[in-house]
Amino acid sequence: MYPRLFTIPAFQLFGQHGPWSLPTYGALLAIAFLVGLWVVARQARREGLDPVVITDLAVWALIGGLIGARILLVIVDWDHYRSNPRELWSLLRSGGVFYGGLIGGIAVGVWYVVRHKLSVWRVADVAAPAVVLGQAIGRLGCLAAGCCFGAATQVPWAVTFRDIQAAKELHTPVDTPLHPTQIYESMAAALVFAFLLWLAPRKRFHGQVAVAYVILYSVARFTIEFFRGDRARGFPFDGPLSTSQVISLVLLVLMAVLMPWLSRRQKITPTDDEKAA
């Protein structure tokens, strides 16, 4: 666990004195975004879309995703933040809830796509590999910070966190072997990324890559949630399934309905292939 890459003991900024640290999570998040932009531009060129426009879209979607992730975190942990309003400042250091980020990013992305009169499903296919690769890298940041931690376990590959600050801010159990759920999800996301790259040039309808991403990630997330140590995130779903598992099931149902519709309405024709070449 390395929540801070390095610390400068004597640091002054805007009149404030004291030590300054570079959070590992923030550094990996920045790397994930830069790598994601490279993937988006590469996939946009392959799809026959303007890489500059798609890159601008990615920036706007990131902003929407960051806001959405934190809004959903407040919703699911509403009792905690209502009782401890000062803890809202910790949102600046938290990654939030991924599904909230996904919803926020999609909402802003759709707005941008409509505004620029782009094909929603072609853009979604371009963005999906970049998003899941960003998840693979970002979850390593979660591992470094101690958030999204697993349940107690005695498996040989268990991880043990020891940073007291993480325990205070993120309620991470310290000195306890835990399932490395961050690594589980990072590995799952990396495998999904590889599959999407293989699928992209072979897709039979626009939207197939995006739908495949949602299905595969939802299955992986639903499974990994059983090994999470922070599943009892409460509101709005307080039962045997976590909020993320409920969202995963809803998305799977939606994709089951959406896929046959897209296969008919967005089927790729020879003309589409020529344009994308």
CA distance 63 to 51: 19
> What's the CA gap between 40 and 126, in Å, rounded?
6
For residue 4, list its beta bridge partners.
23
Contact 210, 128 (CB under 8 A): yes
210-247 confidence digits (pLDDT tens): 999 999 999 999 999 999 987 665 555 556 888 889 88
pLDDT tens per residue across span 26-77:
788 889 888 988 999 999 999 988 888 888 888 888 888 778 777 777 776 6
Query: Which positions ≥6 away from 225 have C-beta within 8 Å?
Result: 231, 241, 242, 244, 245, 248
Give the CA angle between residues 220, 97, 43 to the nearest 5°: 65
pTM of the model: 0.80
- What integer pLDDT is reported at residue 150 of this predicted model? 93
259 contact partners, CB below 8 Å, separation of at least 6: 208, 211
| Secondary structure of 191-257 in HEC code, one letter for each residue | HHHHHHHHHHHHCCECCHHHHHHHHHHHHHHHHHHHHECCCCCCCCCCCCCCHHHHHHHHHHHHHHH
| Mean of the per-residue pLDDT values of the chain | 82
